[in-house]
Amino acid sequence: MLTFHRKKLIVLIVVIFLFLTGCKEQAEAPKTSEPKPEQLIPFQHAIGISNIPSSPKRVVILTNEGTEAFLKLGVKPVGAVNSWVGDPWYEHISREMVGVQPVGFEQDPDIELIRTLKPDLIIGNKMRHEQIYEALSDIAPTVYSETLHSDWSINFTFYSEVLNKKEEGQTVLADWKVRLEGISNLSDPLKEISIVRFMKDHARIYQKDSFAGYIFEELGISRPENQKDTEVAHIPLSKEQISEMDGDLLFYTTYETQSEEEENNEEEWINHPAFINLEVVKAGKAYKVNDSVWHRAGGVLAAEKLVEDLEKVLTQ
């Protein structure tokens, strides 16, 4: 039998063993730490330099063409300005925008609604939003593009850099050039293409310094003599000047208001005797296209759809 002292010694050894084992487990237990905050990097933009997340996760975009850039780059914004037409998005982006919070229109975004979204980055435009820069910066790091261009690729490049998607952006632009080469091979350089838009109380012929006009210029498409201005986007016409719409091909749209008045206005123009007697109309070469795509959205997705429209006509 174990003596009392030997029992006492064994108990003591067991206690010491258990104590040392516990200490070792504590020492080897991984230390928990707070997650590191997102790394901020300085970024030069139209207002100055802002420190922005290197990989933003919750971004609010405040221009229509910017929204299209996001979607093309595979980035879904947490919030975006309403499309100029739609409820609340253009038809050609509505499916991809499910779950995105509309934050008001470009010229007057809802600052307090943006705050509730807790963005980690806000992207706006100096021409549109210069007066609210400080208010937006109080919510999250904010950067601005300089202006809105007929050449959508300028701001697209800016967005790709802000979102840390520069390589993806370069791929998109390279693909665009290839696409343009394919379309330009279809067009006859001797044929002049006219671009017309019917407004409420006048019509417009679109010049080279417009969204559609710039794409036509990239394609090397000839334009009527009265549609070659590089300083303005469009020139107004009255019904007495309908003859100035003529060309070898004509693409027309009607300013969208989503109302019956819009449809009646279009009928007034296309049923006017002067329009019916245009050589392009008599030849069956006048084509109605989507106003949001050709004149409203202004981004990469609209550009792609515009050249699709053009390709359909040129391959007929």
Q: What is the model's pLDDT at position 39?
A: 85
Residues 52-104: tens digit of each pLDDT: 999 999 999 999 999 999 999 999 999 999 999 999 999 999 999 999 999 99
pTM of the prediction? 0.86
Homologous superfamily of domain range 184-315: Nitrogenase molybdenum iron protein domain (3.40.50.1980)
The H or E element that residue 260 is part of is: helix 260-270
Band of residue 201 on the pLDDT scale cut at 50, 70, 90: confident
| Residues in Cβ contact with 280 at an 8 Å cutoff, skipping those fewer than 6 apart | 194, 245, 246, 247, 248, 249, 250, 286
Mean of all residue pLDDT scores within the chain: 90
Q: What is the model's pLDDT at position 28?
A: 47
Residues 108-129: what's their mean pLDDT? 98
Q: What is the model's pLDDT at position 37?
A: 60
Q: What architecture is domain 40-165? A: 3-Layer(aba) Sandwich (3.40)
Percentage of residues in the chain having pLDDT higher than 70 = 86
The residue ranges of every structural domain in the chain are 40-165, 184-315
Which contacts of 185-189 are long-range, i.e. CB under 8 A and separated by 24 or more positions?
Answer: 186/311, 186/314, 186/315, 187/219, 187/220, 187/221, 187/314, 189/220, 189/221, 189/222
What SS3 state is found at 68? helix
Would you say the CATH fold of 184-315 matches that of 40-165? yes
291 vs 256: CA distance, rounded Å: 7
Q: What is the model's pLDDT at position 189?
A: 82
* pLDDT higher than 50, residue 247: yes
